[in-house]
Structure 1
Amino acid sequence: MKILVTRPSPEGEKLAKILNCIGILSWHFPLFNFLPSTSSISLSKKICELYKSDIILIFSKRSVYYTNLYLNENNLHWPLNPDYYAIGNGTAIFFQKYVKKKF
């Protein structure tokens, strides 16, 4: 059996290494990576939408990390009004550090 790990770095690399250590041949080939934006079309252009949202879906720890970094650097906070939904228990636990709200 061979496993193709598509999870972004560094989590994907760690998973592939663990699988290889237990004898399951695996390769790490991420479909995408998360990096801070250097684009002129950045979160700063979309921040109003964050505060107007009724529902916010959280898909990854990295998206939470970089969004929170931006908010902190700009003296902003996660909005409390929207309903939050996280994809994955680990993502939900990670996100709960930043928003003190049940979701």
Structure 2
Amino acid sequence: MTVLVTRPGSEGELLCQQLADEGIQAIHHPLIRIVHNPDSVDLSPLINSSDIIIAVSHHAVTAAQNILSKTSFIWPTSVLYLGVGQKSAHILSKACKQKVHYPQVSDSEHLLKLTELKNVENKSILILRGNGGRELIRDSLLDRGAQVSYCETYHREYIPINDHNTYQTWIDKNISKVVITSLEQLEYLYSITPDEYLAWLSTRQLFVPSQRIADRAQQLGFSNVTNTQSATNQILLAALQP
């Protein structure tokens, strides 16, 4: 058994190393790269004028911190901080030195059920995120009477698979499990896979962090999908154990 890890950057590399430490073969093949966007916005006044700040990913927080590190900015104590998942909340808490609330299930739907977001009429809410993505949080909070703005602190760039031999290599390496940590990765991998390899790919066991991604994978024809309910490496590692 070999695991294909598509998670980008050092987190994907770390998961592969953790799998290797458990005697599980793994291949790291990221499908996107995270590019920080340091010159895109003057972030300090946006944060200081917000009542609530929501981080949709830990990448958004790390990139925001990179932007703010150029100044002596101190995160305000009067703001309510939230993260979509445990990982994003943990990274945001380290940055702002404040308590960060997050749902037990790491997705937008469960975030919106938090009591902290029940009464947000006339509240100013800043969402830290990358380029693109879902509009559910923004639209739902607007419906509740909040004033919502985005700050795109980073961009995702797709990494093409130019060599068709890549797929044959995966077959030869006996890839049986694939880790996909975002809907963008899933859609992209499916869209760029040549027709002759789609049947093989769709029979691999897919590990995804949310029900929304699991549902989409099944719509695309994946027959064996496991929802780990979290994208943290610790949870993924436990789910990937034989």
Range into which the TM-score falls when normalised by the shorter chain: 0.5 to 0.7
Q: How far apart in 1 are the matches of 2:76 and 2:6? A: 31
Name structure 1 gaps, 5 residues minimum: none
Q: How far apart in 1 are the matches of 2:29 and 2:84? A: 21
TM-superposed CA distance for 1:48, in Å, is 4.1
Aligned residue pair count: 99
Structure-1-length-normalised TM-score: 0.66
* Equivalent of residue 88 in structure 2, options 91, 94, 99: 91
Q: How far apart in 1 are the matches of 2:32 and 2:48? A: 27
- Whether 1:53 and 2:50 are equivalent positions in the alignment is yes
Q: How far apart in 2 are the matches of 1:86 and 1:5? A: 24
Relative to structure 1, the CA distance from residue 31 to residue 43 in structure 2 (aligned partners, 3 Å threshold; closer, same or farther) is farther
RMSD: 2.8
Name structure 2 gaps, 5 residues minimum: 101-242
Q: How does 1:17-96 map to 2 (within 5 A)?
A: 17-37=17-37, 42-44=40-42, 47-58=44-55, 59-60=57-58, 62-96=59-93
TM-superposed CA distance for 1:5, in Å, is 1.9
TM-superposed CA distance for 1:74, in Å, is 2.7
Q: How far apart in 1 are the matches of 2:97 and 2:17? A: 34
Structure-2-length-normalised TM-score: 0.34
Q: How far apart in 2 are the matches of 1:4 and 1:56? A: 34
Q: Counting strand residues as a fraction of each chain, which structure ranks higher?
A: 2
Q: Name the SS of the counterpart of 1:43 in structure 2.
A: coil
Q: Name the SS of the counterpart of 2:36 in structure 1.
A: coil
Contact kept? 1:34, 1:63, Cα under 8 Å: no
